[in-house]
Amino acid sequence: MSSEIMLRDASGPADPNADLLVRFENTINAPIISIAALHNGQAVAGVYTVVALDGSTVTVTAEDPKNELVGASKSVIADGVTINKNTIGGLGIVFSGGLAAGWTAIVAVGALQALGGATSQRLNTGIVLADSTSTQRRITAANIGTESSADTSIVALPGFLALGSNVHTTVVYLSNHTDLARQELATPADLVVTFQDYQIGTPDTADIYVGGVIAIQDAKLDGATLYQHGKVGYIDGADLFKGLGIIFASGMGDPTSRTFTIHVRAGYDWIEFAPDVTGAPGTWGPGPLTLTEGGEPTGVITASGACHFWYRANVPQSAAPGDMKMANLRVRGLTV
């Protein structure tokens, strides 16, 4: 038994349809059967439209013009069973076996989606001019677990995006470091990841390089072993995945011809939070923001309870146009 905090739109703190992790609505016929987050560092908050060209090909377009997870048509396996991991980055999608031209679905990541498919951006702040703030949004931290959460807070951490044609079969998990003291150490960079010295075994292993320098020695390719600063095999002195943790997939065979890039992005420190004061934002500031359910001790959200808060981006005057800025929102807490 444990607590589990889910971010939801404040309009429906007890309604799973208000979940902001990922939702979908089939708008023309029923192309998508199910969808789930992969947590492999590829998901980007936004609204995506998926349209079938035929029974094995779809196109994906994004509402945000700066979104990098769209492009040419994508081949899919539409059999009602297979989890397609390369249609929209960071999502596993099962397509209907009857997929046909024109079938359409709308997928929301970090956005509110109503029945019928209409969406409203929530966690994607969109394009924000320098020396201005984004639209402020009221969000709910809902405890969908079976136990209370104590010392609960929300914080913005460095954002990142893993890009490459084979990321979805190479990485099963990519996130901020599990140690709170190291989570904010990630700095903007393009981490080009390659593999050397592949060894067949139980499990298979390989050395992991970043920018041509060894980062992890004899990494287990088992879909389970976490590599980050402080773990066996990770070269702490180099700390080339600074502030991050990564798990490599099993069953990929010899990975030495593979490469992908982790783009660690700027902008996380532009995110501000405010407590909810009778439906309006209180004092804005950087996180962490303590989250407290009404009537409970500071930092406590009970099972089935919730806490509202406010969220925005405050872009400094010094900001210059460039690539998509990213942040990871992380709720911290202890099960009690």
pLDDT in tens, 195-219: 999 999 999 999 999 999 999 999 9
Model confidence band, residue 293 (pLDDT cutoffs 50, 70, 90): very high
Which pair of tokens denotes residue 34?
């199910």
pLDDT in tens, 109-123: 987 777 666 777 777
**Where are the chain's structural domains?**
21-121, 167-257
pLDDT at 21: 85
pLDDT attached to residue 265: 87
Helices then strands (H, E): number in the chain? 1, 24
State phi, psi for 18 to the nearest 5 degrees: -95, 5
4 — phi, psi (to 5°)?
Answer: -150, 115
Whether residue 273 contacts residue 310, with contact meaning beta carbons closer than 8 Å, is answered with yes
The values of phi and psi at residue 73, to 5°, are -60, 150
| 29 has a pLDDT exceeding 60 | yes
The model's pTM is 0.87
* 42 CB-side CA count, 13 A: 27
